Amino acid sequence: MSRQYPPGCPFGTHRSLEPAGSLPQPAWRLDNRPDPYDNEILVDVETLNIDAASFKQMESACGGDAAAVAALILDTVARRGKMHNPVTGSGGVLTGRVLDVGPRHPDHGRTSAGQKIATLVSLSLTPLWLDEIRSVNLETDQVEVSGRAIVFASGIYAVLPTDLPELLALAVLDVAGAPAQTARLVRPGDTVLVIGAGGKSGLLCMYEARRRAGVTGKVLGLAHSDASRLRAEDSGFADVVLQGDATRPLEILALVERSTAGALADVTINCVNVPGTEMASIMATRDGGTIYFFSMATSFTAAALGAEGIGRDVNMMVGNGYARGHAEIALNCLRESDKLRRVFEERFG
């Protein structure tokens, strides 16, 4: 018996109720009925990985009571049709198993019922129907649920690999855009500076930069804390690991000048989620070079006016969390490199 699928918009505007027809992220309320349109994926949801800012706000509003957090989540989803925290505006991601792939979804025939996936778009735009909340883990910000969710045709997701532990895969998928963009930017022979070298995305970027820059290139990692510096050093991906505070541009400039005989970086990749690191990124990069800002703490005006203020003719790019094939690229880094996998397992597994 064949179901009738109504036709959907690739961006999911057909699910927006308030205001009707708007994009689902800015919409106040979505239609969360678990009946898929012709270009949607229906997911049997297992776990919500709530965004850290959102979880912290709810935990604090509930005085640290897990049951009260569960009630708050149910209330938000009942009112908005999505787990879009009205205070922080943020969401998170989810994992679950595919129940159905609409005939007009671009992955129809490739992704199939039973596969376990993780969404890589925010819960703030994902229609979600909750039957019950099984548990709220205050340590990991994870919520075990029974429910169903919708992934739009334009919504990115990854089929979880069967050869890697799920937590490890999720840790990598969370920053999957970083190595994919690094692979595009770095050319053989380049000098690459990775700021925030000891973090998840920093380590992945250094690994990819090392491979792309090759033996004639040079990878510099900048870390702040001792622990972060040790992780960057242990990885072996950097020719030089520098230690310093990226909010102090003149000090960073001096370090990078010394390590490059004054030539500065051809490509700088900023992976440090700390405000005020734009100027160090600009000063460390040569005229004509490129800076990729992955940090969500980046200020657009600080970057634009900073470069103009010192007359530095650099290309500055807004980090795009999505690049075609990014999930596969990022997971493959872990498969290829035992070192990377070990560092990730120790720290994030």
Q: Which residues pair with 93 in a beta bridge?
A: 49
CB of 131 to its own copies, least distance (A): 26
User: Residue 217 Cβ, how far from its own copies at the closest point, in Å?
Assistant: 22
For residues 275 and 296, the answer to whether their CB atoms sit within 8 Å is no
Q: How far is the CB of 311 from its own copies (least distance, A)?
A: 4
Strand partners, 16: 30
Nearer to its own copies, 102 or 249 (CB): 249
Burial class (CB in 10 A: 0-12, 13-18, 19+), 131: exposed
Minimal distance in Å, beta carbon 136 to its own copies?
25
What residues make contact with its own copies under the rule CB under 8 A? 11, 13, 21-23, 25, 120-122, 125, 154-156, 177, 249-250, 279, 283, 287, 293, 296, 298-301, 303-305, 307-324
Distance in Å, CB of 288 to its own copies, minimum: 8
Q: Least distance in Å: CB of 119 to its own copies?
A: 11
70, 137 Cβ separation under 8 angstroms:
no
Phi-psi region of 236 (alpha: psi -120 to 50; beta: other; left: phi over 0): left
Peptide bond connecting 34 to the previous residue in cis, omega within 30 degrees of 0: no
In the numeric block, which tokens belong to residue 87?
């205070």
Beta carbon nearer to its own copies, 236 or 276: 276
Whose tokens are 């009112």? That residue is 79
**142, 134 in Cβ contact below 8 A?**
no
Kindly tell me which of 29 and 341 has the beta carbon lying closer to its own copies: 29
CB of 216 to its own copies, least distance (A): 26
Q: In this complex, which beta carbon is closest to its own copies, that of residue 309 or of residue 349?
A: 309
The 128-137 sheet, strands edge to edge: 128-137, 142-151, 41-50, 92-101, 116-119, 157-159
Local structure of residue 111 (DSSP, 8 states): B
Using the minimum distance from each CB to its own copies, give the nearer residue, 75 or 313. 313
Task: List the structure tokens of 207.
Answer: 């690994």
Residue 73: phi and psi, rounded to 5, are -65, -45
Q: How far is the CB of 16 from its own copies (least distance, A)?
A: 10
207 versus 293: smaller Cβ distance to its own copies: 293
Cα-only R_g, the chain: 22
**Which CB sits closer to its own copies, 25 or 235?**
25
Of 248, 182, 251, nearest in space to 219 by CA: 182
Q: Nearer to its own copies by C-beta: 181 or 243?
A: 181
Task: Identify whether the C-beta of residue 42 lies closer than 8 Å to the C-beta of residue 73.
Answer: no
| 141 φ/ψ angles, rounded to the nearest 5 degrees | 60, 20
